[in-house]
Chains A and B, each alone.
Chain A
């Protein structure tokens, strides 16, 4: 009987603790309201997308749905995955930025212009845009993402080929999804792409 009573108390305490969580969450809202950006962020979204969606199911290609269709899907997944509203907006921003077709002019202008300057270091670009899928160690954080550290791997390709892949997007054979153009970050300029490629070769190249 004592055991049953202890179990009962434990369960009821656990339930009460769970009921208290929304109150804690509301407190978090107040405390975090000032420094919590309201708009979705593509870079944060790429990381949240990589860290949450494949926990339960295979990664869905951003190109599967239009911007409009992603809205209710991500709202639904916020509930299923226990995401915050900020994560929802970030992931939505990433998906909506990653499902755009590559501009045709890119295909006819593959040479990197030397006139532009990188907006940030290659490492910063990698950590902001690429790390969610390619991982901090460059070995790939998701199924199908190539291992940069292999001597005969992706980095054995020429700069022209890799710049083309980064700029236009690329689907590794056998991979369930394609890397979006510019990793989904449309703000990257030619110099940023050249810079991040240099970082890849310095950090992961053989």
Chain B
């Protein structure tokens, strides 16, 4: 009996053990798969981590990068913060001219570089060279001006060297071809005519407020070597105001200009100078030298009005080869109008020039049409109706075209 029971118990145990064994195998397989999957994932993570580590910057890399940025930053800002600055400006032009009784020709090519060298905010060295091709094909180079300018304070600057004459407006501000609205200077305002060109000496100039936000005045006073007379054949041929480093007569010239701007865009200027002058071959035959001038400049929207009068006068000198007094005077009135929104503008000017040599006397109407490619580049077409002594160049009408560029 007992044996039967034992057999049954063993049989039952064996019967129960088989399913349990089967279940254990299934779990093992599942776990094995999970472990294998996890291993694969871990390998991927490790690979990704290794790749990331390979591509990541180390602290040393970051430090080097920061140093590079600092170096580049220093290089990019050092020029902006430097004490000295050099700058090239200037203008150039090419002209074509067709005059009555004369051959048409491309008669002028000029290049006038202007160099500015500034030290901090109180010193500026500025110079302009005029290079141009002469009729015989040679190149002429002239020093238009070269000054060392000291900004003494907000209202006074001291200039020393060769400067453009501060008498009037055209010679000091209006003559560059990209500014001048016509192809030529007004009659009497060219070289060796009524308007002084430049001089060598010292000058004080500046501006100040007249008590409100819109009214200002500016001034320029100078002392310089002054002009010299060219005397040929017993007559004063011309007055040379180009500026010389010699002063044979030993007398300096004193002069200046004051400009008033009572309202914005309107300027009225008064100029004057006085001193002694002599001929280049007769330094002891000194005579009085005086200059008077007045100028006017007004702009309203598209209209610009300019006018200027200037007179140079020399007294008599008994011991001169040409003892009589002489005077040169000139004036002009000019209006220009910009046809907005187009790039076209028109200019009209009337001028007169009276010289000691009557062959040089001239009256002129100048009519011009300009096309502005940019604010500093234009092509100008002008016809000058000239009226002078019959048969002289001053009486010859001229058509001119000029391409000019200020930079």
Interface of A with B (CB < 8 Å)? 7-8, 11-12, 14-15, 17-19, 21-22, 24-26, 28-29, 36, 47, 50-52, 54-61, 64, 67-69, 71-73, 75-76, 78-87, 140-144, 172-177
Contact = CB atoms under 8 A, between A and B. Distances in A.
Contacts of B153: 25-26, 29, 85
A72 B254 contact: no
B89 A15 contact: no
Contacts of A82: 205-207, 216-220, 259
Contact of A84 (B155, B173, B255, B272): B155
Contacts, number: 173
A75 B116 contact: yes
A126 B205 CA distance: 34
B43 interface: no
Given A14-B272, A22-B221, A25-B155, A144 B254 contact: no
B172 A80 contact: yes
A169 B404 CA distance: 29
Main secondary structure of the interface of B (DSSP, over half): strand
Nearest to A173: B341
A79 B125 CA distance: 12
Given A58-B372, A82-B207, 19 more contacts: A17-B258, A18-B219, A18-B256, A21-B258, A25-B219, A29-B154, A51-B214, A51-B264, A56-B179, A56-B297, A57-B375, A57-B406, A60-B376, A84-B208, A86-B154, A87-B207, A143-B302, A143-B340, A144-B340
A24 B178 CA distance: 35
A29 B256 contact: no
B219 A21 contact: yes
> Which of B80, B126, B207 has the most chain A CB within a 10 Å cutoff?
B207
A11 to B, nearest CB: 5
A73 B89 contact: yes
Interface string B391-407: 00000000000000010
B42 to A, nearest CB: 44
B320 to A, nearest CB: 18
B365 interface: no
Interface string B354-372: 0000000000000000001
> Which of B178, B258, B340 has the most chain A CB within a 10 Å cutoff?
B340
Contact of A176 (B156, B256, B375): B375
A29 B342 CA distance: 45
A64 B178 CA distance: 16
Given A8-B290, A25-B156, A68 B375 contact: no
A80 B124 contact: no
A100 B214 CA distance: 28
Contacts of A50: 264
Nearest to A82: B218
Given A72-B118, A75-B124, A22 B290 contact: no
Contact of B221 (A21, A52, A83, A87): A21
3 tightest CB-CB pairs across the interface, nearest first?
Answer: A82-B218, A174-B341, A85-B154
A124 B80 CA distance: 33
A55 B169 CA distance: 11
Query: How big is chain B's contact interface, by range?
Result: 35 or more
B260 to A, nearest CB: 10
A54 B206 contact: no
Contacts of B220: 18, 82
Contact of B272 (A15, A26, A55, A61): A15
B328 to A, nearest CB: 16
A85 B155 CA distance: 6
Interface string B114-126: 0011100100101
30 contacts: A11-B273, A12-B274, A14-B272, A15-B254, A15-B256, A22-B204, A22-B219, A22-B221, A25-B155, A25-B206, A36-B154, A47-B213, A54-B299, A55-B265, A56-B173, A56-B297, A57-B178, A57-B406, A68-B79, A71-B87, A71-B121, A73-B87, A75-B151, A78-B151, A82-B216, A84-B207, A140-B301, A142-B301, A175-B340, A176-B375
A83 to B, nearest CB: 5
B157 interface: yes
Contact of B374 (A73, A80, A87, A176): A176
Given A82-B206, A83-B207, A19 B340 contact: no
A176 B89 CA distance: 19
A178 to B, nearest CB: 11
> Which of A24, A51, A58 has the most chain B CB within a 10 Å cutoff?
A58
B341 A22 contact: no
A78 B157 contact: yes
A7 B340 CA distance: 46
A127 B274 CA distance: 46
Contacts of A55: 265, 267, 297, 299
B329 interface: no
Nearest to A70: B87
A121 B151 CA distance: 38
B343 interface: yes
B381 interface: no
Contact of B80 (A60, A67, A78): A67
B155 A29 contact: yes
A87 B376 CA distance: 23
A75 B121 contact: yes
